[in-house]
């Protein structure tokens, strides 16, 4: 792309008069060059034939498209707090993870309250299974949890069968899918609620 700058004859004359070696300036060449530039360019068209090579059948197009992959296995959690919300409904926190994890570890890592008044290090055994302070109630999804250990049978022999020690509980395996509903701090809950269909939405930070 070029830029054409055109000066008037008066500007060129004044420019030439200011030069010490005087010379005559002729605008004849300028006018000639402008006349040449004002000519309309010749535009030509080249006609050619268009030939259809072929089409791909619809079935073949669908076969070439990549197949949608199934979502990887995961387990959904609903953790119900022991304290109700101001409107009187349960305070539920949702999480999603891959199976095969220890329940206590996962609750601590995802900021789910587990110990309540026993949260201080000296008030619990830090996952050793000897204090019994990490008790939870399994409202739904018991089939996804590992069987009770001997430590659980000892600490929970006077508790309901759906109570577990989080530190002794493994949730599923890497190929597991399903929903687990956990009531936090069952000894401290001051309400009763009936589990209904949950609208799952992971609210982890």
- Domains of the chain: residue spans and CATH: 1-37 (no CATH), 75-184 (3.10.20.30)
Does residue 10 register a pLDDT over 60?
Answer: no
Mean pLDDT, residues 27-42 taken together: 46
Higher pLDDT, 63 or 81: 81
Higher pLDDT, 3 or 94: 94
Mean pLDDT, residues 21-28 taken together: 44
What was the pLDDT predicted at 191?
72
Burial label for 95, CB within 10 Å (0-12, 13-18, 19+), is buried
> What token pair was written down for 172?
């599923």
Which of 10-19, 45-54, 67-76, 145-154 shows the highest mean pLDDT?
145-154
Euclidean distance between CA atoms 156 and 29, whole angstroms: 109
What was the pLDDT predicted at 123?
87
What pTM did the predictor assign? 0.62
């Amino acid at each position: 792309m070029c830029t054409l700058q055109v000066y008037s004859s008066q500007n060129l004359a004044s420019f030439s008069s200011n030069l010490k070696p005087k010379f005559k300036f002729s605008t004849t060449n300028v006018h000639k060059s402008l006349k040449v530039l004002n000519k309309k360019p010749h535009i030509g068209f080249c006609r050619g034939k268009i030939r259809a090579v072929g089409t791909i059948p619809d079935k073949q197009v669908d076969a070439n498209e990549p197949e949608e992959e199934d979502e990887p296995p995961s387990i959904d959690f609903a953790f119900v707090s022991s304290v109700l919300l101001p409107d009187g409904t349960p305070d539920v926190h949702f999480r999603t993870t891959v199976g095969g994890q220890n329940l206590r570890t996962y609750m601590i890592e995802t900021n789910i309250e587990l110990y309540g008044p026993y949260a201080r290090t000296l008030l619990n055994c830090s996952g050793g299974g000897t204090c019994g302070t990490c008790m939870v109630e399994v409202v739904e999804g018991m089939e996804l949890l590992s069987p009770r250990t001997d430590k659980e049978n000892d600490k929970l022999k006077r508790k309901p069968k759906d109570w577990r020690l989080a530190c002794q509980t493994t949730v599923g395996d890497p190929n597991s899918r399903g929903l687990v509903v956990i009531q936090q701090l069952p000894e401290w809950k001051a309400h009763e609620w009936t589990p209904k269909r949950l609208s799952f939405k992971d609210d982890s930070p």
